[in-house]
Amino acid sequence: MLEHKLQKKSLWLIACLLSVSLTSAAILSQRLQRLFKPTSSSKENRMSAFPRVILWAWERPVALDFIDTREVGVAFLAKTIFLRGEKTSKRPRLQPLSVPQGTVLIAVARIESDRREPPRLSSEQLAQTAFEIAELARLPGIAAIQIDFDAKLSERDFYRDLLVEVRRRLPQQLPLSITALASWCTHDDWLTGLPVDEAVPMLFRMGVDQRQVVSYLATGAQFRPVLCHDSAGISTDETLLALPSARRFYVFSTTDWSPVNVRHMIERSKNEHPDS
């Protein structure tokens, strides 16, 4: 009889412990789900609400007070970073930029490597460059950061590590964009897995890659890396017979922006892929 009571008590204790364990596991599971649940700042959503047309505003006085902020955003050169030997230097934007209140603003950091004295690509240069780029997040009204770096083959490891460090330093909800040589999105894919929200294939001034990229696009093929699927970079003075389907078009102009050429680019983007 006593043995039977002890067995029942043991079973009751085991059941209680199991219940507590399951409850604790459920609570832990819920906490983990909340911790890792995708939010509106996830890679898939961080730039989904950006305008279809983004105008590049490079280093010259730019007045865009006339744009409709529902249709057009602005990516402006905010800082140029120079890598030379062991040195890292910077130059801030020196020209005025005028945009309407509420404009989606993307701060662009341009990185240039010195040809006469190639950079050592040291850990110190990486840390300093990442710091300078991440500092752009402090500018008022910034909706994203974009890096413009035509990294050579020998600079790719440095660039990859730089992007990891920049992403670590930026607020989680702030998108990180990069420009990409068109060849990186067709036959020379090394972008897959980079911690960025988009890679913008530059479909102008393509140089020796022009013929190959044009032939690639003429087949209707999609860019290989997923990062290259959402955006495309074009210029007002070059026209491609075929453009990839894109959610956003970044547009460079060799002349001053005006209501006429901005409207033309808006209509062109709609006509290229009206359903994308």
Domain ranges of the chain: 53-272
* Contact criterion met (CB below 8 Å) for 100 and 52: no
Pairing state of beta strands 53-57 and 72-84? parallel
Mean pLDDT value of segment 227-235: 92
139-186 pLDDT per residue, tens: 999 999 999 999 999 999 999 999 999 999 999 999 999 999 989 998
**Angle subtended at Cα 232 by Cα 231 and Cα 237, rounded to the nearest 5 degrees:** 150
Cα dihedral: 71, 95, 77, 88 (round 10): -170
By C-alpha distance, which of 127, 124, 115 is closest to 154? Answer: 115
Query: How far, in whole angstroms, is CA 168 from its chain's centroid?
Result: 14
Phi, psi of 45, rounded to the nearest 5 degrees: -115, -15
By C-alpha distance, which of 163, 167, 90, 87 is closest to 122? Answer: 87
pLDDT at 188: 80
pLDDT at 89: 98
pLDDT at 215: 79
CATH 3.30.1490 fits 53-272, yes or no: no
If pLDDT is split at 50, 70 and 90, which confidence band does 237 have? confident
DSSP string, 226-263: GGGSSEEEEETT---S-----SEEEEE-SS---HHHHH
